Amino acid sequence: MNVKPLALNALVVLIGFNAFGQSTDSITKLSPKKLILEFYAGKAISFGDYSKVSGRDAGFAKNGLDVKADLSYRIQKFIGVGISATYFYNETNKEALGNQIRQSSLSTNLGAVENFILWQGKCLFVGPRIYYDIGKISFVIKTNFGLMYIKKPFYGIKYSNTAVLQQNIQYSFKEIGKGFCFNLGINARIPLQDRVDLFFQAGYTAAKPEIIEDKVVTESGVLIKSIRSRYNQQVSNFDLGVGIAFKIL
């Protein structure tokens, strides 16, 4: 049996497999996964009129939490498009809010604001993505446009002056609004596994939705008046946090 031809054929096959493997690796490196699903949580830091505690445009918002889910598709090496859903909340400065209500009602006998009050918002965004890779680190810039739905839960404040007027008055408020919003974010992704990245993200969200405020005044459980008013409230948060990105396709 002539061993030389068999050995030569085996060598050719091995070289072919090796070349194919190297080619596949290079294609994989040059063509990253295009469909990416991200989950993110971070601190929401209020600023501007949204965080003010006095004045006509004050939002009384403290810091809170921002949570996002983002699905993006990388069309080319540097360009992509994505859709993002966001939930956020900001605690409210109840003491300052109570002071403003007391001033507007021209009474100093109102009690403390009741209930745990939060600004709570939901946003749905779409927008372009810009990608830039430096070694194993990927940077993504996101520009998003969409709609915001925001509300404060029902809350109240009591007036009690039984020694003078035998009054027990309850002021109750509910505020709900919606409007156009804008979001800008940047994240830096570091690979954990072949299809999983860890990323750090900083972002900015701004909106000025129209808020519908329903104010109900009762005395000893009896309705005195109900007032509906509208105003525009600036809502603006910086967010800073971490997330996980899954490369689906």
DSSP the chain: --HHHHHHHHHHHHHHHHHHHHHHHHHHHHS---EEEEEEEEEEEE-GGGG-SSSTT---EEEEEEEEEEEEEE-SSSEEEEEEEEEEEEEE-HHHHHHHHHHHTT-S-EEEEES--EEEEEEEEEEEEEEEEETTEEEEEEEEEEEEEEEEEEEEEEEE-TTTT--EEEEEEEEEEEEEEEEEEEEEEEESSSSEEEEEEEEEEEE-PEEEEEEEEEETTEEEEEEEEEEE--EEEEEEEEEEEEE--
pLDDT for position 111: 60
For residue range 156-172, what is the model confidence (pLDDT) as tens digits? 666 555 444 445 667 67
- Domain ranges in the chain are 1-29, 32-247
CATH 2.40.160.20 fits 32-247, yes or no: yes
For residue range 103-143, what is the model confidence (pLDDT) as tens digits? 766 555 556 566 657 899 999 999 999 999 999 999 999 99
pTM: 0.77
